[in-house]
Amino acid sequence: MFSSRLTMFSLKLHVMVIAVIVLVFPVSTFAAEDDSDNYSITIMHMNDTHAHVEPLPKMLTAIKEVRAEIPEALLLHAGDVFSGTLYFNQFKGQADLALLNMMDFDAMVFGNHEFDLGSGENGHESLAEFVAAADFPLLGTNVDFSEDPFMNGYINQQKFVESPESGSVYDGIIKEVNGEKVGIFGLTTEDTANISSPVNVKFLNYINEAERAVAAFEEQGVNKIIAVNHLGYNSNPEMGNDLQLATAVDGIDIIVGGHSHTKLDEPAVVSTDENGEEKDPTVIVQAYQYAQMLGTLDVSFDENGAVVEYGGQLIDVNEKEADSEAAEVLASYKDEVDALANQETGATAVEAILNPRLSDSDVSVRANETALGNLITDAMLTKAQEKEPGVVIAMQNGGGIRAAIDQGPITVGEVIAVLPFGNDPVVAELTGAEIKKILEHSVRQAPEESGGFLQIAGMKFNYDSTNEPGSRIVKMEVKTGGEYQEIKADQTYLVTTNNFTGKGGDDFEVFAQAYNEGRVKDIGEIDWEQLRDYMVEDLNGEVAPETEGRITDLMGEDPDQPEDNGDEEEDSDEEDAGNDGNNDNTEDNANNENTNDENGETDNTGSETEENSQDNDDDTQQDPSEDNVTESDSDKDTEQESGERLPDTAANMYSFILLGGVLMMLGAVMFICRRIKNT
């Protein structure tokens, strides 16, 4: 009987202990799962749309779908609406704006390309017209427009306001979302002064202005702060970027970024300051480029305004149906752009300039020197030298050259079809040893095709495809003063390329490293415009490129033997043999910024070329991870939502203490029970 009572007592005791754990632990260890005390917001975001107007009706559909579930979701644009396609050339941002105004934006920051027309207009007349017609406020926290005759009238003298007006520029705005105030400010890269045409517009130190904005919001009792930036995720550290801002300025909870065209499949979080000390976390997002993706971010804050939970995803806009009303608005602009694409540039191709592939030719733009590759790199080099006279070499990935040029007058549409991605040319500072590594990577798959095979100008080199990859380059020479000289391993050279390659696209690790170290900088141009202007201005409209022996595969022959350019001549003859030059369209290659790119994009001219996805050709050209750093998890499903919870340190400590106490109680009771049983 006594034993039975003891057993019943012990059972009841265990039930009581379990009940205590179940009742107490949800408010401690598992408290993070109860968001009832937290404040949450959702943000939609895009950046670097660059006059790619044609995807915007699909973008509107994606926005409407998010708002159907979360009506209070914010919508932010991180800059660079201007420049990139004929929609901008023709309408100076107004075509974009007609569709952006249908989306109900909460704010937009100025990108560097918003200042491209300053020199030609002796100020920013087109930008002022864009601001005036915008149905949303713009942010210029570190932009001084006071000396610009067109923009100075749109600067609101109320610096940080709760009720911002559309068509005005503010240092910051305060939005009430779900019953609480959220501060939003915006920063533009100081590099705009170097890579665009701001004329009398000045750009102030981004760190100082961010600190001023945070202080202003906190004075008004706002402890949830968003920075909408056009700085770049991990761009040139000399000019500043989002990662640096997050470590340097406390109080910024979220950074919605642009400028580096970074495809962050998952939000990044910075939780240490510049000294390595722990700080309240800052969540960073960026949504790639060209209106291809709509980013969404869900963030929860504790009662002190610190981020405790976040999750985000990128929605592929190409998978959506176009909004019918937006499609009608687009149509009113598209016909005019299509007509513009058929306009002649003023240049004439003396003969057809082919873009061969191995599918129907013995040579390929992705495995051999081609006349078209020489034309493009000559244009890159010449135009880069106008900005940076010290540039001596140009490199263009073959996978980025997408179409041929027919014999006869060259149209604008043809030029854009050749280079449909509107890449920003950059200049990289590289040693001779680094150039050798780059060329080794370029020819590693030769004689097979590779999207990363580089067309070149300003230099020539021999390689041997019979050698092991990584040991194929035999001789490299750079053209100096009209003569070729050996490239020296320890000497530094300035090399221009497109920003896809310059950030490490096609797995060019050397370029990625140079970019991360701040040795790659944007020069404020558009690649297809360089080509167009070069043919008209520098070739006087007569276009007849040839292969010249810039790239020679020795194929096991002795390099000391006299060079025979017969192969190149034969290649040239074969190129002229009559293939249609559109073979690039038979197989998608990943060029341009990032891999999972431009599906269905026809914006660039109304041309069909960009309909081709940029494939993962050969070595799968990854979104240079936006340079192996800036893109996060590019080969993951971009629709997959990711979320992480930040540590609840105090709650966890309390939980461990409580668990220890409960276990001690249980041990003591069991000890007593055993003593009773023994007696």
Which CATH number goes with the domain that contains 46?
A: 3.60.21.10
What pLDDT does residue 589 have?
Answer: 37
Question: What is d(CA 418, CA 4) in angstroms, rounded to the nearest whole number?
Answer: 90
CATH number for the domain harbouring residue 599: 3.90.780.10
Regarding whether 207 and 74 lie in a shared domain, the answer is yes
Other beta carbons less than 10 A from residue 515's beta carbon: 28
Q: Which of 611, 634, 660 represents a domain boundary (last residue)? A: 611
Regarding whether 132 and 50 lie in a shared domain, the answer is yes
Beta bridge partners of 170: 139
Other beta carbons less than 10 A from residue 650's beta carbon: 10
Regarding whether 97 and 48 lie in a shared domain, the answer is yes
Q: Which of 294, 325, 356 represents a domain boundary (last residue)? A: 325
Structure token digits, residue 564: 């025979």
- Within a domain: 630: no
Cβ 552 vs Cβ 568: under 8 Å: yes
Question: What is d(CA 661, CA 652) in angstroms, rounded to the nearest whole number?
Answer: 14
Alpha-carbon distances, residue 324 vs 52, 61, 317, 447 (angstroms):
18, 9, 15, 48
Regarding whether 57 and 15 lie in a shared domain, the answer is no
- Within a domain: 581: yes
Band of pLDDT at residue 202, cut at 50, 70 and 90: very high
Question: What is d(CA 69, CA 618) in angstroms, rounded to the nearest whole number?
Answer: 41
Sequence-separated (6 or more) residues with CB below 8 Å from residue 233: 241, 242, 243, 257, 260, 262, 264, 268, 284, 286, 626, 629, 630
What pLDDT does residue 558 have?
Answer: 81
Segments of 398-449 assigned E as strands: 408-411, 425-431
Count of domains for the chain: 3
Stated pTM of the model? 0.72
What pLDDT does residue 606 have?
Answer: 33
- Within a domain: 627: no
Question: What is d(CA 576, CA 578) in angstroms, rounded to the nearest whole number?
Answer: 5
What's the alpha-carbon Rg for the chain, to the nearest Å?
29
Band of pLDDT at residue 613, cut at 50, 70 and 90: very low
Beta bridge partners of 459: 478
Question: What is d(CA 631, CA 641) in angstroms, rounded to the nearest whole number?
Answer: 16
Regarding whether 48 and 99 lie in a shared domain, the answer is yes
Strands 143-144 and 138-139: unpaired
Regarding whether 205 and 176 lie in a shared domain, the answer is yes
What pLDDT does residue 678 have?
Answer: 59
Nearest to 117, CA basis, from 144, 81, 78, 142: 81
The average pLDDT across 88-105 equals 97
Cβ 312 vs Cβ 640: under 8 Å: no
Nearest to 259, CA basis, from 245, 244, 279, 242: 242
Average pLDDT, the chain: 84
350 DSSP 8-state letter: S
Regarding whether 120 and 60 lie in a shared domain, the answer is yes
Regarding whether 259 and 110 lie in a shared domain, the answer is yes
Regarding whether 89 and 43 lie in a shared domain, the answer is yes
Sequence-separated (6 or more) residues with CB below 8 Å from residue 675: none
For the chain, the 3-state helix, strand and coil shares in percent, each to the nearest 5, are 35, 25, 40
When mean pLDDT is compared across 257-266, 286-295, 355-364, 451-460, the lowest value belongs to 355-364
Regarding whether 550 and 510 lie in a shared domain, the answer is yes
pLDDT in tens, 508-562: 999 999 999 999 999 989 999 999 999 999 999 999 999 999 999 999 988 766 5
- Within a domain: 440: yes
Band of pLDDT at residue 420, cut at 50, 70 and 90: confident
Query: pLDDT: is 313 or 606 the higher one?
Result: 313
What pLDDT does residue 21 have?
Answer: 47
Domain that holds residue 429: 345-611
- Within a domain: 617: no
- Within a domain: 194: yes
Longest dimension (CA), the chain: 112
- Within a domain: 331: no
Sequence-separated (6 or more) residues with CB below 8 Å from residue 209: 141, 142, 187
Regarding whether 669 and 526 lie in a shared domain, the answer is no
Regarding whether 370 and 272 lie in a shared domain, the answer is no
- Within a domain: 224: yes
Question: What is d(CA 343, CA 170) in angstroms, rounded to the nearest whole number?
Answer: 40
Is residue 588 classed as helix, strand or coil in its secondary structure? coil
pLDDT in tens, 134-173: 999 999 999 999 999 999 999 999 999 999 999 999 999 9
Band of pLDDT at residue 647, cut at 50, 70 and 90: low
